[in-house]
A = this chain, B = another copy of it.
Amino acid sequence: MAPVAKDRLAALDAHWRAANYLAAGQIYLMDNALLTEPLRPEHIKPRLLGHWGTSPGLNFVHTHLNRVIQERDLDALCVWGPGHGGPAVLANSWLEGSYTQTYPDITRDAEGMAKLFRQFSFPGGVPSHVAPETPGSIHEGGELGYSLAHAYGAALDNPDLLVACVIGDGEAETGPLAASWHCNKFHDPAHDGAVLPILHLNGYKIANPTVLARLPEAELDALLKGYGHQPIYVAGDEPHEMHQAMAAAMDRALDRIRSIQEAARSADGAQGREPWPVIVLRTPKGWTGPAAVDGEPVENTWRAHQVPLSGVRENPDHLRLLEEWLRSYRPEELFDAEGRPSEQVVSCVPEGERRLGATPHANGGRLTRRLPVPPLEHFAVTVDKPGTTLHEPTRIAGALLAQVMADTAQRRDFRVVGPDETESNRLGALYDVTSKVWQERTLDTDEHLARDGRVMEVLSEHLCQGWLEGYTLTGRHGLFSCYEAFVHIVDSMVNQHIKWLKTSRALPWRAPVPSLNYLLTSHVWRQDHNGFSHQDPGFVDHVLNKSPHVVRVYLPPDANTLLSVTEHVLHSRDYVNVVVAGKQPCFDWLSLDEARAHCARGAGVWEWAGTEQGTRDPDVVLACAGDVPTQEVLAAAALLREHLPELAVRVVNVVDIARLMPREEHPHGMADSEFDALFTRDKPVIFAYHGYPWLIHRLAYRRTGHANLHVRGYTEAGTTTTPFDMVVRNNLDRFRLVMDVVDRVPGLAVRATAVRQAMADARTRHHAWIREHGIDLPEVADWTWPY
Report the separation of the CA atoms of residues A462 and B145 in the bound assembly, to the nearest whole angstrom: 12
- Within A138-161, the residues touching B (CB, 8 Å) are 140-145
Asked whether A335 is an interface residue with its Cβ less than 8 Å from the other chain, the reply is: no
Report the separation of the CA atoms of residues A378 and B180 in the bound assembly, to the nearest whole angstrom: 48
Asked whether A176 is an interface residue with its Cβ less than 8 Å from the other chain, the reply is: yes
Asked whether A237 is an interface residue with its Cβ less than 8 Å from the other chain, the reply is: no
Report the separation of the CA atoms of residues A488 and B205 in the bound assembly, to the nearest whole angstrom: 21
- Binary B-proximity of A206-246 (CB < 8 A = 1, otherwise 0): 11111100110001111111111000000000000000000
B496 touches A486 (CB 8 A): no
- Decide yes or no: A219 and B208 within 8 Å by CB, A129-B530, A532-B503 being known contacts: no
A176 touches B175 (CB 8 A): yes
Residues of B contacting A697 with CB < 8 Å?
Answer: 697-698, 701
Q: Count identical subunits in the complex.
A: 2
The stretch that binds B, out of A54-62, A388-396, A418-426, A568-576, is A418-426
The residue on B at minimum CB distance from A296 is B445
Interface centre among A171, A215, A491, A725 (most CB of B within 10 A): A491
A143 touches B486 (CB 8 A): yes
Q: What's the minimum C-beta distance from A431 to chain B, rounded to whole angstroms?
A: 10
Residues of B contacting A542 with CB < 8 Å?
Answer: 491, 538, 541-542
The stretch that binds B, out of A119-127, A604-612, A756-764, is A119-127
B211 touches A185 (CB 8 A): yes
The residue on B at minimum CB distance from A214 is B440
B170 touches A771 (CB 8 A): no
The one of B140, B460, B462, B533 in contact with A533, judged by C-beta atoms closer than 8 angstroms, is B140
Residues of B contacting A206 with CB < 8 Å?
Answer: 420-421, 423-424
Asked whether A529 is an interface residue with its Cβ less than 8 Å from the other chain, the reply is: yes
B211 touches A121 (CB 8 A): no
Residues of B contacting A143 with CB < 8 Å?
Answer: 485-486, 489, 533-534
- Decide yes or no: A530 and B495 within 8 Å by CB, A173-B460, A208-B436, A720-B123 being known contacts: no
A443 touches B209 (CB 8 A): yes
- Decide yes or no: A529 and B171 within 8 Å by CB, A143-B486, A420-B208 being known contacts: no
Asked whether A745 is an interface residue with its Cβ less than 8 Å from the other chain, the reply is: no
Asked whether A366 is an interface residue with its Cβ less than 8 Å from the other chain, the reply is: no
Residues of B contacting A84 with CB < 8 Å?
Answer: 529
Q: What's the minimum C-beta distance from A239 to chain B, rounded to whole angstroms?
A: 22
Asked whether A546 is an interface residue with its Cβ less than 8 Å from the other chain, the reply is: yes
Residues of B contacting A719 with CB < 8 Å?
Answer: 123-124, 127
Asked whether A748 is an interface residue with its Cβ less than 8 Å from the other chain, the reply is: no
The one of B49, B171, B222 in contact with A226, judged by C-beta atoms closer than 8 angstroms, is B222
Interface size on A, residues (CB 8 A): 124
New A-B pairs, 8, CB < 8 Å, besides A129-B533, A209-B442: A131-B531, A140-B533, A142-B530, A143-B486, A178-B178, A185-B211, A222-B226, A541-B542
Residues of B contacting A127 with CB < 8 Å?
Answer: 530-533, 719-720
Asked whether A441 is an interface residue with its Cβ less than 8 Å from the other chain, the reply is: yes
Interface centre among A182, A225, A496, A530 (most CB of B within 10 A): A530
Interface centre among A128, A297, A457, A492 (most CB of B within 10 A): A492
Report the separation of the CA atoms of residues A496 and B718 in the bound assembly, to the nearest whole angstrom: 13
Asked whether A785 is an interface residue with its Cβ less than 8 Å from the other chain, the reply is: no
The one of B422, B528, B771 in contact with A47, judged by C-beta atoms closer than 8 angstroms, is B528
Asked whether A536 is an interface residue with its Cβ less than 8 Å from the other chain, the reply is: yes
- Decide yes or no: A128 and B721 within 8 Å by CB, A445-B301, A538-B545, A770-B123 being known contacts: no
Report the separation of the CA atoms of residues A180 and B489 in the bound assembly, to the nearest whole angstrom: 16
- For this complex, 17 residue pairs linking A to B, each with C-beta atoms less than 8 Å apart, are A46-B773, A49-B720, A50-B529, A123-B720, A123-B722, A123-B725, A125-B720, A174-B462, A175-B176, A175-B177, A175-B179, A177-B179, A185-B211, A205-B420, A208-B436, A221-B226, A302-B445
Asked whether A775 is an interface residue with its Cβ less than 8 Å from the other chain, the reply is: yes
- Binary B-proximity of A476-509 (CB < 8 A = 1, otherwise 0): 0000000001101101100110010011000000
